[in-house]
Structure 1
Amino acid sequence: MSRWDDVYIGLCKKILEEGHEVENRTGVNTIKIPSFHFSLDVGKEFPILTTKQLFIRQAVLEMLWIYQAQSNDVRWLQERNVHIWDKWMINENGDWLDENTGRVLKHFDPKYVHTIGTAYGYIVRKYHLIDKLIDSLRNDPEDRRRVVSLWQDCELDNAVLPSCVWSSEWDVTDGKLNVLVHQRSCDVPLGLPFNVTQYAVLLCMLAQVCGYEPGTLDWSIKDAHIYVNQVDGIKEQIRRYDENGSLPAPKLWLNPEIKDFYDFDSGTKLSDVRLEGYEHMGKISFALTQ
């Protein structure tokens, strides 16, 4: 059975049972708890939810957009039929608009048109974050300074949405690559399932190209929340779990011929990545709040 489903459903129950309803910048209230922490052994079990369907192609392509393409251009995703950032794209006038009212939420320098501004992949490219990480993993296994930070104060004013998953710390222990991920704000129904699977894939990719085995994925959340318009969907997912448990975790297959992180296919077919034996209980639709 899937340990990730066990952890995830436990978090959802905790939020619904112990959380506080609060207002936030979006205008849609959330039910939140202040923090949550968990650990998964990716070397033993690949984490992807089975109590609902998760579309791994979209999840992995978003991760590669950030760390391989190192792009902030939303069109890169749209060309691959991935639309999770459409609501945050700066338009031709340099404006980020409220999707419901058309009101200008923020105006940007026109050079940032079609992008999300100075966030995520922009920061990875500007500060050479993935290249420094790979160089350290290959040449200095005992390095204790492998902090990859997507939170750069000087870039925040020109970002549409400052990075939610904002930092990761990497170490090698006993031949295994491990990562600790920090998330400042967590949309549990929509964001967290994508994020955990994404970083598990990134962990496995980096382990493969740097000569290690996949190890642990530790996760630290500040402000774990469920939007009030997502509660019914989460209750359905909890019902599935309570009645049926979880299904067996699938296996992640990466093309073993790939020895360079930049060689993993990031095209529409994502041919170097696939899941084997992925069983799930079907799709659940959740509102995406801008």
Structure 2
Amino acid sequence: MTDHLHYEQQYLDLVRHVWRHGSERIDRTGVGTRSILGATMRFSLADDAVPLLTTKRVYWKVAAREMLWFLTGDTNIRALVEQGVHIWTDWPLDAYRRATGDAIDRDAFEARIVEDEDFALRWGDLGPVYGAQWVNWPVYEPAGNGLYRKRAKGHDQIAELVENIRKTPQSRRLLFTGWNVAEVGKMALPPCHMTYQFHVSDGKLNGLLFQRSCDLGLGFAFNIFGLSMITRMLAQQCDLEPGEIVWQGGDVHLYLNHAELVEAQLLRAPQGAPKLRIQRRPPSIFDYRIEDFEVIDYAPQAHIAAPVAV
């Protein structure tokens, strides 16, 4: 990315390339995509910069609440729904409809999730998705007679990462991942933003995300904000300055039913330079609250609605 270009231009260029040159594929959802393999973008976090898309409104607090939820290790949508976050509801809702034949709408389903704890326990769980792997990766110990039992508390990759950044900042093992091969089949959705790696240089923390599958039209905006957010949080906890973030996509795609979104967004010119600030330094990486985060100087163009493929 050259200095005179707006940081978002590389994203728009990638969208244009995928839309025009991606191979058409019938995907898991049946909707169909245009897809390429392999893409990289880099964004500076200097001076509180955050790569929020400006060519459409991104509801960054939804992404922030999701990231904080991941760090709790929770895998049930109830806590998200109570905060007005709906981005994970479609998967358990679809499972419920298939299992029961009940054509319940999303609002009614979420109301039951909030009001009925037993219903939430049965129908709101997503399986061992992101947070479960990040802070509670399963650990097994000998139980005798050649058998093993699962420990009540698994391995906390995030706590270990903070400790390792502080103690061994030159390590090439500063990472965490959600891709647990043994448990992928139990997850409502296998990890898309699957592996995060960090690099300390000249007193700055740089973050990299490898995303095996990227919905460029809808998901990317949340994923890049999440990478910015977790990199800033880790930097603060480890007495470092945020440096840059690197995003790497594996299967990078646009859904065929997102044509209106794509065409509308490509007609818009990016503008502005929003900033993300953390208002306080809590005792640990696990003690941040949504009130601790502030985005300023963000004046995006209008939201562009598009359907989510489940």
Question: Structure 1 residues 186, 92: CA separation in 2 closer, same or farther (over 3 Å shift)?
Answer: closer
TM-aligned CA deviation for residue 89 of structure 1: 2.1
Are residues 1:120 and 2:130 paired?
A: yes
The CA deviation string for residues 112-139 of structure 1, in whole angstroms up to 9 with x for no partner, is: 6411101111111213111111111122
Question: 1:6-155 to 2 correspondence within 5 Å?
Answer: 6-44=9-47, 45-66=49-70, 68-89=71-92, 113-127=123-137, 128-155=156-183
Residue 280 of structure 1 aligns to a residue in which SS?
A: coil
Distance 2:223 2:237 in 1: 21
1:263 aligns to what?
287
RMSD, matched Cα: 2.5
Once residues 239 and 173 of structure 2 are traced to their aligned partners in structure 1, the CA distance between those partners, rounded to angstroms, is 19
CA distance in structure 2 between the aligned counterparts of 1:2 and 1:59, rounded to whole angstroms: 26
| Aligned-partner Cα distance in 2 for 1:239–1:173 | 38
SS at match of 2:57: coil
1:269-290 CA deviation, whole Å, 9 max, x = no partner?
Answer: x211011111111111011110
Instruction: Report how many aligned residue pairs link the two structures.
Output: 274
Could you tell me the percent identity over the aligned residues? Answer: 30
Q: Is 2:292 the counterpart of 1:272?
A: yes
Contact 1:89 1:96 survives alignment (8 Å): no
Q: 1:173 to 1:153 in 2, by over 3 A?
A: same
1:92 deviates by 9.4
| Structure 2 runs not aligned, ≥5 long | 106-119, 138-155
1:200-279 correspondence runs (5 A): 200-241=228-269, 246-265=270-289, 270-279=290-299
Residue pair 1:2, 1:47 contacting (<8 A) in 2 also:
no
The one-letter code of the counterpart of 1:187 is: D
In structure 1, what is the equivalent of residue 153 of structure 2?
none
C-alpha contact (below 8 Å) 1:90/1:116 kept by paired residues = no
Any conservation in 2 of the 1:177–1:214 contact (CA below 8 Å)? yes
1:286 partnered with 2:310: no
Deviations along 1:238-258, one digit per CA (max 9) or x if unpaired, are: 1012xxxx1111111111343
Q: CA contact under 8 A between 2:6 and 2:271: conserved in structure 1?
A: no
Instruction: Report SS of the residue matched to 1:3.
Output: coil
3-state DSSP of counterpart to 1:261 = coil
Is the CA contact (8 Å cut-off) linking 1:39 and 1:218 kept in structure 2? yes
Deviation at 1:94, TM superposition (A): 11
Which range moved further: 181-190 or 112-121? 112-121
**TM-score, normalised relative to structure 1:** 0.88
Partners in 1 of 2:102 and 2:135 — Cα distance? 29
- TM-score, structure 2 normalization: 0.82
